[in-house]
Amino acid sequence: MKSKATQEAEVFDEEYDGLIEKLAKAMVENLESTYSNEYEPFESYRNRVQLKFFKDIQNFCKKFKSGHQTLLEEVEKENPASKKK
């Protein structure tokens, strides 16, 4: 049986992956006007920057979620009455 913290973490993953992807796309939309590298096409640069941004944010969220989940589990261990059914 999954703990409440684990269930909340799974919902977090589903909701935020889509938002992170949208944010990454929005961030790189305005880069083309300032991009000036003749050796790398803008599309390649845009995809590379977007992927790095997405992975960095996703990694942050994963670590944040893991820490949050650990804290919740420790609170539940210390105070069993705080568990919600």
Could you read off the pLDDT of 61-71 as tens digits, one per residue? 888 888 888 88
**What residues contact residue 84 under an 8 Å CB cut-off, 6+ apart?**
4
84 within domain boundaries: no
In a domain, 85, yes or no: no
**Single pTM value for the model:** 0.59
Largest CA distance in the chain: 63
Q: Is residue 52 situated within a structural domain?
A: yes
Range of the domain at 10: 4-79
Q: Tell me whether residue 53 is in a domain.
A: yes
Give pLDDT tens digits for 17-57.
Answer: 788 888 888 888 888 888 889 899 999 998 999 889 888 98
- Give the total number of structural domains in the chain: 1
Is residue 10 situated within a structural domain? yes
Domain assignment of residue 46, yes or no: yes
Q: Is residue 82 scored above 80 in pLDDT? A: no
